[in-house]
Structure 1
Amino acid sequence: MKVSKEKAAQNRAALVQTAARLFRERGIDGVGVAEIGKAAGLTHGALYAHFPSKEALAAEALTHGLEISHSRMVTAHDGRLPSLSELLDSYLSEEKRDDIANGCALAASASEIGRQDEAISARYSDGFEKMAAVFEKHLHTHKAKGDHREKALAISAALIGAISASRAVLKAQPQLANEILHAVRRTVGEIAGE
């Protein structure tokens, strides 16, 4: 039975959203296509009707997650964009660290992207550049001294690293996990001239 274009688009979106969540939770290599299809309410055959490979789905899912993360950084709330301080506080919060499935795709996948193909690395690179551009714009507005791009790259890498390291030690040393977030928040604030 042929699926309508609308239903096919819904199925594709369900696969991308489900894969994005599962990949953030367990990593690209930690989830199989059958599991993604089942979690999306479809068969793995349906997955291959939309994507030529798991890698193609991973690239699309990563892009989806990165777009959501970027949107959070640049969407106005109460009629204004988030301030630099608000972005840093939000990103480095214990709540964001603990919500891997809905958190930043950059932090969730940082350690495994180097083992993926070039297409996935390119998507990650684009997401990283967008994140850094948001911080660079804030640094210009903030009138921070020094090379704004260099600082924006350092801030982005520090935030991603802080979330990754904090998650890595959380089960064994929750206090250390929280210290990492607070130390990076304070240090990045100093770099940003807050």
Structure 2
Amino acid sequence: MGRVSLAQAQENRRRVVATASRMFREKGTAVSVADLMKAAGLTHGGFYKQFASKEDLVDEAIAHAFAEQAAHSAVALEDHEAHEAARRTLIEDYLSVWHRDHAGEGCPVSGFAADLGREPDQAARARHVYIDGVRNRAARLATGDDDGMAQFCTMVGALVLARATRGNPLSEELLEAARTALTESGTGQSEPQQRTD
């Protein structure tokens, strides 16, 4: 069996990182190296020729997910003339049934949150990429004096809960409730209720 060319080795590494990014968001970082390499169409033994450890791959997979998201976000923002239209589109897309059901292609903030919360060493390694990703996504929701952080927390929380309750009508209710709360007043802050008594 001949040696793999440099170009092929780089392509294999890219494929493993992209596959890991998707699988880790979908199934968590507990996915085995063997399953990951099989999904990438490569042999298990090839993993350690490419990566020093699984933790290194997790770091790269997180960075890849955020870079992929940033590229997609930039295109989406250029398609809208007004910030409010872009903000509403972001909310609608984020709190959609499609996003709920496609975690592997979805937001890395919600996709990696549980694993980073459980694995403090991994969180420390990936912290700067993750924190920047949270801040950048929240900034896209900012309106006036609102920095978008509470809005983004609402979106992530609703998505995580909707995924956990998938298969029950409550799942769609959670997505709809968050969409309504975030789009009714333009900032996610409820308007004061008028008393009728």
Specify the TM-score bucket, using the shorter chain as the normaliser: 0.7 to 0.9
Shift of 1:79: 4.5
Following the alignment from structure 1 to structure 2, what is the Cα–Cα distance between the partners of residues 102 and 42?
21
Give the match for residue 125 of structure 1: 131
CA distance in 1, matches of 2:111, 2:50: 25
What is the match of residue 113 of structure 1? Answer: 116
Q: Distance in 2 between matches of 1:163 and 1:114?
A: 17
Q: Which amino acid aligns with 1:178?
A: E
In structure 1, runs of 5+ residues without a counterpart are none
Superposed counterparts of 1:57-68, under 5 Å = 57-68=57-68
Instruction: Give the TM-score, by structure 1 length.
Output: 0.84
Call closer, same or farther: CA 1:123–1:177 in 2, change over 3 Å. same
More off after superposition, 50-59 vs 112-121: 112-121
Q: Distance in 2 between matches of 1:121 and 1:39?
A: 27
Asked if the contact 2:87–2:140 (Cα under 8 Å) also holds between the matched residues in 1, the reply is no
For residue 105 of structure 1, report the CA deviation from its aligned partner. 1.7
Amino acid in the other structure paired with 1:51 = F
For 1:188, the equivalent position in structure 2 comes to 182
Shift of 1:193: 6.9
The aligned counterpart of 1:22 is 23
Amino acid at match of 1:41: G
SS of equivalent to 1:75: helix
In 2 relative to 1, CA 88–61 (structure 1 residues): closer, same or farther, beyond 3 Å? same
Aligned partners of 2:75 and 2:4: how far apart in 1?
35
Correspondence for 1:134 among 133, 137, 140:
140
Match in the other structure for 2:35: 35
TM-score (ref. length: structure 2): 0.83
1:1-194 alignment to 2 at 5 Å? 1-29=2-30, 31-76=31-76, 79-80=79-80, 83-116=86-119, 117=122, 118-136=124-142, 139=143, 144=144, 146=145, 148-149=146-147, 152-171=148-167, 173=168, 175-189=169-183, 190=185, 192=187
Question: Which protein is bigger by CA-based radius of gyration?
Answer: 2
Contact (CA 8 Å) 2:37, 2:47: kept in 1 or not? yes
Query: 1: distance between equivalents of 2:91 and 2:39?
Result: 33
2:74 partner amino acid: V
Q: 1:74 Cα shift?
A: 2.3
Distance in 2 (CA, whole Å) between partners of 1:127 and 1:77 is 16
State the percentage of identical aligned residues. Answer: 34
Provide the aligned C-alpha RMSD in A.
2.1
**Distance in 1 of aligned mates of 2:56 and 2:152:** 26
Count of aligned pairs: 181
Structure 2 distance, partners of 1:19, 1:193, is 34
- Look up the SS of the partner of 2:41 in the other structure: coil
